[in-house]
Copies of this chain bind each other. A is one copy, B any other.
Amino acid sequence: MSQELPRGFEYAGVRCGIKRTGKDDFAMIAARHGAVAAGVYTQNLVFAAPVEWDRRYTPSADVRVVAVNSGNANACTGQRGLDDAHSMARLAADTIGARAEQCLVMSTGIIGEFLPMDRIAEGTRLAAARLGSEQQHFLAAAQAIMTTDSFPKYVQRSFTVGEQEIAVAGMAKGAGMIGPRMATMLAVITTDARLTPAAAQDALTAAVELSFNCISVEGHMSTNDTVLLLASGNAGGEPMTGRRLAEFTECLADTCAQLAKMIPNDGEGATHLIEIEVRGTASNEDARRIAKTIAESALVKTAICGADPNWGRIVSAAGYAGPKFDPQQVDLLLNGFRLYERGAPLRFDAAAVSEAIKSQRDTRIELQVGDGTGHCRFWTSDLTHEYIRINADYHT
């Protein structure tokens, strides 16, 4: 990607010894002149200390740095965990002369263990010394936030909004499990667009709804899920409002979706990335509930793993998702093959459909359930022996 990075940010990724594997485990993303920041967080009642910290300080008009560690989630750690998150923010803020409240923190890794604060201090020191605004710095940060991910996940885009050239860059991590314990999804999006804190929050909330809230590996909601948006404003001009803000939000959603689907594509043990498109519901939320139910059915996921065009599993999952529809209005396509129409089975070449699933990593399920305008695209991975091996065969 020769894409320009958003102006106003520096990145670093280093190793400070939290992970026993010796891989990089600490990242910093700095905005020395400040950035507007917004966050969207896990809805789990059992949420980690860094989530509590970031919720308190977003949306914000002036965030200076985000510090991220992998290898330890700082979750289910009580008051000490919250004190540690505060210390981590202070340590990172100190390195660039900011206040703790101007630093957001993210953690991912093992649940129920306390953060090794000496390692965190070392990480902030090392990362501060290596901050830079080049591609290599961005990549180092994207790599340092990985846990069981098999590749770093990032997107770099530019958009013309009104007359203005806007850069957006995002990095994310997640593969369904982390180290030996827990699924965690983290993402940081930087942009040089000029936004107010409220507009940044609205844009991020809308974008996440269509992207990170539309992915699943095994459907287990983490204690640490966090998506942050940092807007430096370096593109100049007035803060975005009205039609420009709507256009920006669309660009942001597009970027987030591109980033989000990399997560199930790298889902633990995954051999297929499954895109599920549901149409014809009363609302988008109804479509999302149906798509999510299909995405999280072990029977659907094992069928795709086995290249089995078992449409009964898909249609019956839609039927228990919750939203009402008329079963006689249901059409289903699998990788473009029409298998079920108006609530009745069609004759089809099962061997050809199976071959179509087997021969490509991307699988596409299209389900029409009526003539409403509701719509959702959702991404998931298949369920394989390798998933069981990763999650059952190795002890924590």
- Is residue A111 contacting chain B, with contact meaning CB distance below 8 A? yes
Give the residue name and chain of the B residue nearest to A393 (CB). B306
Set of chain B residues within 8 Å of A37, measured between Cβ atoms? none
Give the residue name and chain of the B residue nearest to A345 (CB). B112
By the criterion CB–CB under 8 Å, are B393 and A111 in contact?
A: no
By the criterion CB–CB under 8 Å, are A312 and B391 in contact?
A: no
- Is residue A316 contacting chain B, with contact meaning CB distance below 8 A? yes
By the criterion CB–CB under 8 Å, are A392 and B218 in contact?
A: no
Q: Which residues of A, 269-296, contact B by the 8 Å Cβ criterion?
A: 296
CA A312 – CA B75 in complex, angstroms? 9
Q: How far is the CB of A288 from chain B (nearest CB, A)?
A: 16
Most B CB within 10 A of own CB, among A44, A299, A316: A316
Copies of the protein in its oligomer: 2
By the criterion CB–CB under 8 Å, are A315 and B46 in contact?
A: yes
Set of chain B residues within 8 Å of A392, measured between Cβ atoms? 302-303, 305-306, 308, 383-385
Q: Which of A24-32, A131-139, A219-227, A251-259 contacts B (4 or more CB under 8 A)?
A: A219-227
By the criterion CB–CB under 8 Å, are A299 and B177 in contact?
A: yes
- Is residue A45 contacting chain B, with contact meaning CB distance below 8 A? yes
CA A340 – CA B396 in complex, angstroms? 16
By the criterion CB–CB under 8 Å, are A388 and B385 in contact?
A: yes
By the criterion CB–CB under 8 Å, are A303 and B391 in contact?
A: yes
Q: Which of A63-71, A187-195, A228-236, A317-325 contacts B (4 or more CB under 8 A)?
A: A317-325
- Is residue A343 contacting chain B, with contact meaning CB distance below 8 A? yes
Q: How far is the CB of A323 from chain B (nearest CB, A)?
A: 9
By the criterion CB–CB under 8 Å, are B76 and A312 in contact?
A: yes
Given contacts A306-B394, A384-B388, A385-B385, 4 further A-B pairs with CB under 8 A are A181-B312, A218-B297, A350-B396, A384-B392
